[in-house]
Structure 1
Amino acid sequence: MVSLRQPRDIPQILLSVVFLALIITACLWIIQPFILGFAWAGTIVIATWPVLLRLQRLLFGRRSLAVLVMTLLLFLLFVIPVALLVNSLVDGSGPLIHDITTGSFTLPDFAWLNSIPFIGAKLYGAWHSLLDMGGTAIMAKVRPYIGATTTWFVGQAAHIGRFLLHCGLMLLFSALLYWRGEKVAYGIRYFATRLAGRRGDAAVLLAGQAIRAVALGVVVTALVQAVLGGFGLAISGVPYATLLTVVMVFTCLVQLGPLPVLIPSIIWLYWTGDTTWGTVLLVWSCVVGTMDNVIRPVLIRMGADLPMILILSGVIGGLVAFGMIGLFIGPVLLAVSWRLYDAWVHEVPPPPDNPDQVLAVLEESDDESEQAAK
């Protein structure tokens, strides 16, 4: 009996693939305005899910009350401060950009260097020698780049309407995810299992660990350090404290810490003669600058340990790609990808430490092949 195989219907397969691609593209096009807000909300919900469960137990097991409290906390402790910081960044940096772009911004005289014992006069003379040798010309060449860079950073924060829209979407999606978090998580795991079996389910769990590690160990630590540093600046009377707090958020996210902002502020206070508040800010900076060594390890243990180069690349790349929201989404995406890659690589035994062993095995197999051929 001859078994006749049905020929493959190539046009049908091709048209089916094209139709599915069109459907997926259309769906992504429709939900494109909500993707960033949903990703932001998902990151926050995954990081704060244990807090929701604890609140639910305290509120007599009522999920609705716990969701209401968590949404209010996000609005009061996250959305309002970020919106105020962005507004202050735009408003407070206007005079600085005007001075830079109009050419009225000049290098400082640093006359206070003369008050430093022993080396003050030498430092003052060296600084003015640099100015006489072309410091003004150097400033004239650098000023356009400084102005363009500053304008770009402010332009990223100037999209206040779009940013606040994403904040509103983040609150809405966070409330929905808090309300039906278990079902959403199970649906994602089910879809991943359908795609790749148990490996897909494990990938989803690893991604959750990476998200929690970034959100808790990096973002929360940066926000705590920046807010405390900004509090010290405001109490000490440093001008543009809110604007400097925004800068500290960025420096903390890129793992430089708050000291690049706090140290010049301390120098400025001593320079203006306010030695009392300069000393207070110096002591406060020592506390805030070392706080991450205590907070970050505790929070990262709740998620997964990640290379700092991923965090740095994610923060800068996310800022360029997505704007202000990219400060949070960028490191999360790279962290998830790294965790999945690391798990996939470690599914096989590691190679021998001694490369000579590998070469010896290859030579033995080549000799055996030659003997078999003879």
Structure 2
Amino acid sequence: MQPSFKFDSTLSRGLLDVLIKAGLIAALVIFSFQVFEPFKELMIWSVILAVTLYPLQCWLKTRTGLKDGYVATLIVLFVLLVLIAPIYLLAINAGDSIDKVVALLKSDTLSIPPPPESVAAWPLIGPRLYEVWLKASGGLSDVAQHLLPYLKGSGRVLLGAAASAGGAFLLFISAVIISGIIMAFGETGTRAAERIANRVAGADRGKSMAVLCTATIRAVAQGVIGIAFIQMLLIGVGFVVKGVPGAGILAVAILILGIAQAPATLITIPVIAYVFSTEGFTAATIAFAIYSFVAGLSDNVLKPLLLGRGVDVPMPVVLIGAIGGMVVKGIIGLFIGPVILAVAYNLFWQWVDQQGPDSTSESPK
């Protein structure tokens, strides 16, 4: 009986040691995550930007012969210069547009024609719409007073969205700077990523997994988010130069539509119609219409050039990532969501395709 007791005692001590070590490791991991959690979105943004811009750094380094740190600094300064100035102008224009709308409503000079009698016969919404429209035709002040309780709630939502957009913009600027630091140590980071992938997936699959993640990040960032940014800047600058009311807000709407894979012509065509109706057919309005229409279709040219590189990501995955990311993380999730979901999607199908030799199923990608 004594040997059995000694065996049980040794087993208990071994199990106790394992539990203590596991508990300490779990506590260390939890505490480390809590410390890192405030910087999680910033670091995700930084890594996405660094992976996307690193080929540009390699190209510039080869052409100029400069060190990695200098090249990364030049890229960061260029990105900040290209992005901050137009986005700042759009933001200022959006604020001015809101002020003009508020002033117009306060002045009560906006006249609305009375509704046709046929509106009241519309099913479901007809009577209510006719009543509100009729009040608005007599003066917007009464309607605004009636809708004031609803407008307060909408105002809080809009202020929250504006604050989220401002925070996302500051986060993006910080991420650009940190991505430059990451690119300055690009070769070391590449080796570290391959070592981590080898540890997770094994030496035979680790490198291919790291290459897949890199290609997916670049494909989505360039082919979806990059194209949406380019379209927003092209169309938004045209709206600002032409003096279109609410140009900044419309440019943000174009950015959201671009990430959601919806055509920008949903915005440009009504704006062109508005400009023609208010200013007539002149050389300036015709030139604006041609520029806006062509800029709205620019994604059809850019997508085959940028999205076709790397890997194929189905558009529903991008759309779900954009909408789900915005629901979970606000404006910043609108950009990060498609990238993360696309990486997860491709890793999942790589895992599915790495079945045994008897597997004959093909990936639906």
The bucket for the TM-score relative to the shorter chain is: 0.7 to 0.9
CA offsets per residue over residues 228-280 of structure 1, 9 Å max, x none?
Answer: 11233233331121221111111111111211211221221232242335433
Alignment-derived partner of residue 335 in structure 1: 342
Structure 1 residue 340: Cα displacement? 0.3
TM-score w.r.t. length of structure 1 = 0.77
Secondary structure of the residue that 2:244 maps to in structure 1? coil
Does the CA-based 8 Å contact 2:268-2:293 persist in structure 1? Answer: no
Q: 1:299 to 1:39 in 2, by over 3 A?
A: same
Structure 1 residue 323: Cα displacement? 2.4
Alignment-derived partner of residue 54 in structure 2: 49
Alignment-derived partner of residue 284 in structure 1: 291
> Residues of 2 paired with 1:143 and 1:313: CA distance?
35
Secondary structure of the residue that 2:11 maps to in structure 1? coil
Does the CA-based 8 Å contact 1:93-1:243 persist in structure 2? Answer: no
What is the correspondence of 1:224-243 to structure 2 with a 5 Å cutoff?
A: 224-243=230-249
For 2:177, which of 172, 175, 194 is the aligned residue? 172
Does the CA-based 8 Å contact 1:218-1:253 persist in structure 2? Answer: yes
> Residues of 1 paired with 2:219 and 2:118: CA distance?
47
Q: Tell me if 1:201 matches 2:195.
A: no
Q: Which amino acid aligns with 1:302?
A: R
Q: Tell me if 1:135 matches 2:129.
A: yes
Does the CA-based 8 Å contact 2:119-2:127 persist in structure 1? Answer: no
What is the correspondence of 1:261-272 to structure 2 with a 5 Å cutoff?
A: 261-272=267-278
Q: Tell me if 1:7 matches 2:7.
A: no
CA offsets per residue over residues 98-155 of structure 1, 9 Å max, x none?
Answer: 999x9x89996499xxxxxxxxxxxx88668769743245788999778756753542
Q: 1:232 to 1:165 in 2, by over 3 A?
A: closer
> Residues of 2 paired with 1:106 and 1:312: CA distance?
39
| Percent of matched pairs sharing the same residue | 26
Does the CA-based 8 Å contact 2:235-2:292 persist in structure 1? Answer: yes
Does the CA-based 8 Å contact 1:267-1:278 persist in structure 2? Answer: no
Alignment-derived partner of residue 137 in structure 2: none
CA offsets per residue over residues 39-70 of structure 1, 9 Å max, x none?
Answer: 11111111111111111122224323211210
Gaps of 5+ in 2: 134-142
> Residues of 2 paired with 1:36 and 1:218: CA distance?
19
What is the correspondence of 1:1-374 to structure 2 with a 5 Å cutoff?
A: 7=11, 9-86=14-91, 88-89=93-94, 92-93=97-98, 109=113, 133-137=127-131, 148=153, 151-159=156-164, 162-197=167-202, 198-276=204-282, 277-348=284-355, 349-351=359-361
Q: Which amino acid aligns with 2:314?
A: P
Q: Which amino acid aligns with 1:135?
A: L
Alignment-derived partner of residue 118 in structure 1: none
Q: Which amino acid aligns with 2:172?
A: C
Q: 1:84 to 1:236 in 2, by over 3 A?
A: closer
Q: 1:270 to 1:142 in 2, by over 3 A?
A: farther
CA offsets per residue over residues 261-316 of structure 1, 9 Å max, x none?
Answer: 11221221232242335433432233123221111111012221111111111112
User: How many residues are matched?
Assistant: 337
CA offsets per residue over residues 55-103 of structure 1, 9 Å max, x none?
Answer: 1122224323211210101211234444554565456446658999x9x
**What CA RMSD, in Å, does the superposition of the two structures yield over aligned residues?**
3.6
TM-score w.r.t. length of structure 2 = 0.79
Q: 1:235 to 1:201 in 2, by over 3 A?
A: same
Secondary structure of the residue that 1:344 maps to in structure 2? helix
> Residues of 2 paired with 1:13 and 1:273: CA distance?
79
Gaps of 5+ in 1: 112-123, 353-374
Structure 1 residue 216: Cα displacement? 0.6
Greater CA deviation, 63-72 or 87-96? 87-96
Secondary structure of the residue that 2:310 maps to in structure 1? coil
